[in-house]
């Protein structure tokens, strides 16, 4: 595995870990801020389907329809991950 591939997969694993744990710590928020600054993730408003889903995680964090607080991988990072995994 190349260093570049390892770095991409490490970044994904780190972001996933923060999201799974919830960005409640200062360190977790710093990781998400860095990932945002580097173009790995972006933030959007929740969809109507997410808001209607009683099991959606955003309800736990009081994310409302006007809150751009739903994080997801950017298309470029998602493509880089797929390439690193040999999925493309």
Long-range Cβ contacts of 33-37 (<8 Å, 24+ apart): 35/11
Q: Residue 60: its pLDDT value, please? A: 86
So what's the pLDDT on residue 7? 93
Q: Where are the domains of the chain?
A: 3-84
- The DSSP result for 47-77, as a single string, is PHHHHH-TT-GGGTTT--TT---EEEE-HHH
pTM: 0.82
Q: What is the pLDDT of residue 76?
A: 96
- pLDDT score for 24: 72
**What pLDDT is attached to residue 23?**
60
Mean per-residue pLDDT pooled into runs of 10, the chain (88 residues): 90 93 82 96 96 93 93 96 87
Beta bridge partners of 70: 44
């Amino acid at each position: 595995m190349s260093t570049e591939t390892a770095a991409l997969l490490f970044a994904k694993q780190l972001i996933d870990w923060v999201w799974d744990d919830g960005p409640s710590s200062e360190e977790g928020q710093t990781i998400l801020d860095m990932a945002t600054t580097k173009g790995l993730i972006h933030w959007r408003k929740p969809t109507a389907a997410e808001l209607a889903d009683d099991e959606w995680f955003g309800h736990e964090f009081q994310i409302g329809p006007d809150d751009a607080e739903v994080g997801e991988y950017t298309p470029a990072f998602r493509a880089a991950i797929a390439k690193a995994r040999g999925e493309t």
